[in-house]
Structure 1
Amino acid sequence: MSDEHPEPDGRTRHYGDFYGLSEPAGEGDVTLVIGNCQAESLRIFLDGGGLRTVRTPPIHELVEADLPHLQRWLARTRLLVAQPIRDGYHGMPLGTAELAAVLPGGGRLVRVPVIRFAGLYPAHVIVRPPSDPSLVPPLVEYHDIRTIAEAAGQPLAEDALTPDLVRRVAELSLSELRRREVANDTVVASDLFAAPSFDQMRTLNHPGNPVFAALAARVRERAGVPAFTVDPGRPVLVSVHAPRERAVLDAWSLDGEPTDHWVVGGAPIDSEEVRRAHLAWYAAHPDAVAAALARHADTLRLWRAITG
């Protein structure tokens, strides 16, 4: 192949429809699903039954060179399904309102929430160091509130995690999810966690198939599209599995045994190894600790209140 037409790299081939290497299979209205890693999983559960979806890079990976491809697809899109994204995201017109504004006549927008539910992983939080929001700790990208408190010199009691605390942290996270659903007029997902199970969430923010199946059905209903059930034939978002704690099993009367390790890319990583690696990382990035204490102050108060 000549230099003028270089061989596409693996990423370009992976998103071949988006980059114009191919057309999406199937028939029906073109549908774009825009957002983070949850968006691609939702797309899988929406594809078919009158909707022809386009595999699109996650929003945080898009660069200026991708904009013509995105604009080409938006011009053909009849249904835009998007998480709430602020205007001017990463210095580009990628906000949900900005994308919706260029849909062709008759194009519809359905907003979906970014799903975070802490009721199954009550110690885990997400933090970005103010000095460099792209930085993440080693081994696993999730922070443990107990390790953060230890790094701050404010250790939590070893027996702080109780079933009561699990339920209180769950309600705190659901209250925030409900607030964002109302504020952004999204499809509702918060009620799906009335009786939590590990099938629903692999981590704090990685939903499982039952959540995506229900969310896809609600997107179709809001968009006025006939119901259609998708079975992808595999579990989605399974690259990371968080440990399962005894207090969580007891709080929701779940079967099974607790685990003391993460699973990342199919490989187990001991929780104590993660703790040690994260403490070393916090020593090198103290602003991450300060940011966590501020952002997750309500969660910390719950942890401390339970044990008095």
Structure 2
Amino acid sequence: MTFDGMALEGSALEGLAYSATPHDRMPGRRGDPGWVADQLVRPDSRVIPLWRDRCLLASGGGPVTLTGPVGKAASTAAVQVALLGMDGPTAVFAADLDHPDEAEALRLCDATGAADLRTLTAALPAPVAATLAYARGLLYWNRHARFCGSCGGPTDSVDAGHVRLCVNPDCGRELFPRIEPAVIVLVESPAAEPRCLLARHRGAGPDGFSLLAGFVEIGESLEGAVRRELAEEAGVAVGKVTYRGSQGWPFPAGLMVGFVARALDERIDADGTELQEARWFTRAEILDRITAGPGSGPVDSIGGWLLRSWAGVN
């Protein structure tokens, strides 16, 4: 079966993938193991299976979601089951089929193949893509948090997959999902003609230009990260920095925070390490890249959304 019945209020960043899920995440109930178990065995509850972070596909090419006996079999075989939340009256779970080989996972879930979510997103309804990204990120974190970072002891999954608890009685640390914030920024020129800054990162092709981005460091504000990244990698100083929106990016654990910044001048000094080169592009050049050239970057990313918005085509 494929996803159905999902409704989503309009997003502030219309058209941006992974920006919202249609679920009530049930923070007040998911800590009750009995309630969670009751939801899991309901015949109408939905189970989203993933195999090693890949979506399992139905015969029509869309991602599968399971109910009834097939859903129960998948959740029983899974190394981790996590409650994503309630979609109206229906509970939605994610099941991590990490251990079976691919053929066994496909057979168990009556699926025909497996694919990376990002190859499917453009063809999926926004709530479905967001739900699959949420499932992927939560299962990935559980799989990589099986041991305590403080004492090295094993951890147990609690709170329906949203918390892990160190079982060492001398420790007992609670582990929560880790989010890695990063900033991505569209830099505008101060000149009269509208121009924006794109850079070719290390390893990119000869025309692989994109916006600048970087991870936020400890003790740093988001705006501070924008200024530091631009100065370090491109030698560009900016004045006003304006927040435009954010995007969950669970590939595996990111949060992309989008900004527009105004350069103080047009000087560029690419570092030659992270950036091979950087230059200013006119709006006409950006439109040409979008319509007939290499494009505005990945269609599912906030970077592409920022660039298309600046060019007036979102």
The answer to whether the superposition gives a TM-score over 0.5 is no
Considering fraction of residues, name the structure with more strand.
2
Considering fraction of residues, name the structure with more helix.
1
Provide TM-score, normalisation by structure 1: 0.24
Provide TM-score, normalisation by structure 2: 0.24
- Which one has more relative contact order, counting CA pairs under 8 Å at least 6 apart? 1
Question: Which protein is bigger by CA-based radius of gyration?
Answer: 2
